[in-house]
Amino acid sequence: MKVILYCFLQCTWGVLQTVLGLLLFVFHIRDKHYLYHGAIITEWSGKSSVSLGMFVFVTRTPYFYEKMKDTYTMEELAQRLLVHEYGHTIQSLILGPLYLIAMGIPSTLWGFLPVFNRKREKEKLSYFSFFTEKWANYLGEKVTGQKSMELLVID
């Protein structure tokens, strides 16, 4: 029942991001796909991961693994990243049509603008300390009962 409600809400209240996710899914139709708590997960070769409605695109090999391989296995990091990205799908359920503006744009800017990359590096800030990411971690952990990225410094 929860999965049906999740899918229904993503396809109605979260329709904008779900349609974008569907388009990206079709573009990556040959990649590996599976279901996770109602979300459609695609493992892709992209450097970063992204959540669009009920579609989650996770990197096959997190670029930050080399930095953390003494502490975490590749599988553990991939699982934590999945929980984090799933948290973004819960944000989509909560915010609906506001998700792309309230979460998507700030998260993208925080992740890709050079000024923020330098700030994180200089101040040794975790990418996951930003409000959009911290909330995604919280929601992912709350809903799945699994560990997320916490405040790992990946840059």
Q: Where are the domains of the chain?
A: 2-144
Mean confidence (pLDDT) of the chain: 94
Task: Give CA–CA dist 134/6, Å, rounded.
Answer: 22
Contact 86, 143 (CB under 8 A): yes
Task: Give CA–CA dist 76/23, Å, rounded.
Answer: 29
Is it the case that residue 155 has pLDDT exceeding 80?
no
Question: pLDDT tens digit string along 31-81?
Answer: 999 999 999 999 999 889 999 999 999 998 888 888 888 888 989 999 999
Indicate the pTM of the whole model.
0.95
